[in-house]
């Protein structure tokens, strides 16, 4: 249990205090908490505001620090977890996600393993493309032997992650990507059939337009040996696609990333093609790039008019302005784990401003998640955030200069000055949403009530505050009702809950896969980077449902898609059976 002596002058929930105690607040050598939540936010605000001196030695930093402190303590905006954990402390590693190159040599592979360990120890996650590694049984001229292939080397990364465990504060996480035209693609697709394998990896197949055309035409495509870029063999695209669908239906992996879609929006194509993403897929990155993320809490961006809620766009704009400056400052005060990462991050200055609390906001706006009104709201809202984030980035460019790799970028070609190569990302906001007491990212409610597991040893009981308030206001609240919901999660079969309330409080498994994808696509339309989103399926979903979802995501312009069928793993991230969420 958490330290009940922690001072709570910010009206944080008990769950927020538990998470802060477990993961974020400073501790002495004996593990005793020596920092209050207020002191944590002061520590972060002061540290991030100190970057102002770099650009103006006479800057009134105290005013900037006050703004940063207020938007965090008001739970209007929170930066990614490493920033909250490490800003103003010895480690000072503030970025959440990194991509490392893995080239076709033992030196490169094991250099990447070493760099992965350093990053995980500092609290970051890592993504890799293993597509440059020669296939299994290919010749190795220097030893007259044969190669073991990408999947074999992935086991080394997985073991290293297991040993490090990110210093105990965050579970080690990796993303492994292999191009669909790699000769070992079938082995990769089946890599997680054994649930004890690759437990520290998310896996995604990198699909390109050429493969999708072959699928649509029911034709073959070439598998290319990366050692010599020559065709090794041909496979039917539908056979490969069906294997991806089958594996994802069985246990949720692999996911899919659409590489050509990602690279159509690559802001710095002169620096190379993007081949990999961070562990949750929302951040496509070049080798040695990292990105610092932050999220606006949408439940705090509402105002009441005529006794109804509406989005307060004036307040949202003010928070965006402060948040973009905050994230740009992070880049300068961050102590990067590797010099190559330092150069790339400061060269491109990518930031990712996103949101959390979308599902809760829709409830307060009286908009069902599965509705055209929700799609319209998503597009209008993200378009506003993206435009305002770019406006402040342009203002910062006038004040501080464009990002160093600006020449040759898409912005230089269009004549637009920008401080940051990207400005927007939709992250999952797992623990951040607990601190902010809102729904995660853009996901629907997981359940009206459920238990959330943190680091495998803490269970947090979560009750949606909006449901409880509405139930009491409309007169159908009872302890028996709440106990029943705790057992089953959904209210759609309840006869003692009004239909209009049922429409508002749909959970992840009440929503059709198509509606999941359409929400993701609506946000992706106005997001620079990518969107973290899980498409949830009922246990009895058919494989054809998975296929339709993958194809719809491609058609609607998503940069990737991840699905999960309930009950397809013995120990799963989200479970309707025992109503437990692991994070």
How far is Cα 189 from Cα 203, in angstroms, rounded to an integer?
Answer: 8
| Dihedral sign of CA atoms 351, 301, 417, 44 in order | negative
* Strand-pair partners of 438: none
Region of residue 267 (phi > 0: left; psi between -120 and 50: alpha; otherwise: beta): alpha
Whether the Cβ atoms of residue 396 and residue 542 lie closer than 8 Å to each other: no
Whether the Cβ atoms of residue 242 and residue 544 lie closer than 8 Å to each other: no
> Helix or strand or coil: residue 79?
strand
Among all residues, which ones are annotated catalytic?
Answer: 278, 280, 282
- Cis bond upstream, residue 286 (ω within 30): no
Q: What is the pLDDT of residue 456?
A: 58
Angle among Cα 239, 240, 241 to the nearest 5 degrees reads 95
Q: What is the pLDDT of residue 567?
A: 80
Radius of gyration of the chain (CA): 23
Cβ-Cβ contacts under 8 Å for 88 (sequence gap 6 or more): 43, 44, 46, 47
What is the full per-residue pLDDT of the chain (583 aa) written as tens digits? 445 455 667 889 999 999 999 889 999 999 899 999 999 999 999 999 999 999 999 999 999 999 999 999 999 999 999 999 999 999 999 999 899 999 999 999 999 999 999 998 888 899 999 999 999 999 887 666 788 999 999 999 999 998 886 555 556 689 999 999 999 999 999 999 998 899 999 999 999 999 999 999 999 999 999 999 999 999 999 999 999 999 999 999 999 999 999 999 999 999 999 999 999 999 999 999 998 999 999 999 999 999 899 999 999 999 999 999 999 999 999 999 999 999 999 999 999 999 999 999 999 999 999 999 999 999 999 999 999 999 999 999 999 999 999 999 999 999 999 999 999 999 999 899 999 999 999 999 988 887 777 665 677 877 888 998 999 999 999 888 887 887 776 798 888 999 999 999 999 989 999 999 999 999 999 999 999 999 999 899 999 999 999 999 999 999 999 999 988 776 544 443 444 443 3
C-alpha closest to that of 203 among 137, 151, 135: 151
C-alpha closest to that of 457 among 18, 114, 54: 18
* Strand-pair partners of 295: 78, 354
Tokens, residue 46 = 């002061």
> Helix or strand or coil: residue 288?
coil
Q: What is the pLDDT of residue 124?
A: 87
Going from the C-alpha of 550 to that of each of 206, 310, 544, 546, 558, the distances in angstroms are: 13, 34, 10, 6, 10
In the chain, the largest separation of any two C-alpha atoms, in whole Å, equals 79
Enumerate the H helices of 401-474 as residue ranges: 410-414, 430-436, 465-474
Q: What are phi and psi of 148, to 5 degrees?
A: -95, -15
* DSSP states along 290-340: EEEEEEEEGGGSEEEETTEEEE-HHHHHHHHHHHHHHHHHHHHH---SSHH
Cβ-Cβ contacts under 8 Å for 297 (sequence gap 6 or more): 75, 76, 77, 78, 355, 356, 357, 436, 438
Enumerate the H helices of 10-149 as residue ranges: 14-19, 37-49, 52-55, 61-73, 81-86, 106-121
How far is Cα 575 from Cα 3, in angstroms, rounded to an integer?
Answer: 29
Q: How far is the first Cα of the chain from the last one, in angstroms, to the nearest whole number?
A: 17
Q: Half-sphere exposure of 496 toward its Cβ, with a 13 Å CA cutoff?
A: 12
How far is Cα 69 from Cα 46, in angstroms, rounded to an integer?
Answer: 8
Report the number of secondary-structure helices (H) and strands (E) in the chain.
22, 22
How far is Cα 415 from Cα 409, in angstroms, rounded to an integer?
Answer: 10
Whether the Cβ atoms of residue 153 and residue 113 lie closer than 8 Å to each other: no
Q: What is the pLDDT of residue 451?
A: 76
Whether the Cβ atoms of residue 454 and residue 460 lie closer than 8 Å to each other: yes
β-bridge pairing 284-285 and 276-277: antiparallel
Q: What are phi and psi of 562, to 5 degrees?
A: -125, 135
């Amino acid at each position: 249990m958490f330290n009940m002596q922690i001072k709570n002058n910010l009206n944080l929930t008990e769950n927020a205090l538990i998470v802060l105690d477990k993961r974020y607040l400073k501790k002495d050598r004996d593990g005793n908490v020596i920092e209050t939540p207020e002191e944590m936010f002061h520590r972060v605000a002061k540290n991030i505001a100190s970057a102002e001196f770099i650009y103006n030695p006479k800057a009134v930093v105290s005013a900037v620090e006050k703004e940063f402190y207020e938007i965090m303590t008001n739970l209007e905006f929170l930066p990614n977890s490493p920033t909250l954990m490490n800003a103003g402390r010895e480690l000072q590693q503030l970025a959440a996600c990194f991509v490392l190159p893995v080239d076709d040599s033992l030196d490169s592979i094991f250099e990447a393993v070493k760099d992965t360990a350093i990053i995980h120890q500092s609290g970051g996650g890592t993504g890799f493309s293993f597509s440059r590694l020669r296939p299994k049984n290919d010749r190795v001229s220097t030893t007259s032997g044969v190669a073991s292939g990408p999947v074999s080397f992935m086991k080394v990364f997985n073991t290293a992650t297991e040993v490090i465990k990110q210093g105990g504060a965050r579970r080690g996480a990796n993303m492994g990507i292999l191009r669909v035209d790699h000769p070992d693609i079938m082995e990769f697709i089946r890599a997680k059939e054994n649930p004890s394998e690759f437990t520290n990896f998310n896996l995604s197949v990198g699909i390109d337009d050429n493969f999708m055309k072959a699928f649509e035409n029911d034709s073959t495509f070439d598998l290319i040996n990366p050692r010599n870029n020559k065709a090794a063999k041909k496979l039917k695209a539908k056979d490969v696609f069906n294997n991806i669908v089958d594996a994802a239906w069985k246990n949720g992996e692999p996911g899919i990333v659409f590489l050509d879609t990602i690279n159509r929006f690559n802001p710095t194509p002169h620096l190379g093609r993007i081949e990999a993403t961070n562990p949750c897929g929302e951040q496509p990155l070049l080798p040695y790039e990292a990105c610092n993320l932050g999220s606006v809490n949408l439940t705090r961006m509402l105002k009441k008019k005529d006794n109804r809620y509406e989005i307060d766009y004036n307040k949202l704009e003010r928070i965006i302005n402060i948040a973009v400056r905050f994230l740009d400052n992070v880049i300068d005060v961050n102590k990067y784990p590797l010099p190559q990462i330092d150069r790339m991050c400061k060269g491109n200055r990518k930031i990712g401003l996103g949101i959390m609390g979308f599902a809760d906001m829709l409830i307060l706006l009286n908009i069902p998640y599965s509705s055209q009104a929700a799609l319209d709201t998503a597009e209008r809202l993200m378009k506003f955030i993206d435009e305002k984030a770019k406006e402040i980035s342009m203002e910062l460019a006038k004040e501080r200069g464009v990002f160093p790799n600006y020449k040759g970028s898409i912005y230089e070609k269009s004549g637009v000055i920008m401080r940051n190569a990207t400005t927007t990302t939709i992250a999952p906001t797992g623990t951040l949403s607990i601190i902010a007491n809102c729904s995660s990212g853009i996901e629907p409610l997981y359940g009206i009530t459920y238990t959330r597991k943190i680091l495998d040893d803490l269970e947090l009981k979560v009750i949606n505050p909006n449901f409880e308030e509405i139930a009491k206001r409309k007169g159908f609240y009872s302890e028996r009702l709440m106990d029943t919901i705790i057992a089953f999660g959904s209210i759609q079969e309840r006869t003692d809950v009004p239909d209009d309330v049922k429409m508002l409080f749909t959970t992840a498994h009440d929503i059709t896969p198509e509606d999941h994808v359409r929400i993701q696509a609506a946000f992706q339309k106005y997001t620079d980077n990518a969107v973290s989103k899980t498409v949830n399926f009922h246990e009895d979903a058919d494989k054809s449902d998975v296929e339709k979802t993958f194809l719809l995501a491609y058609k609607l312009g998503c940069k990737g898609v991840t699905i999960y069928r309930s009950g397809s793993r013995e120990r799963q991230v989200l479970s309707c059976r025992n109503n437990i969420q692991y994070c």
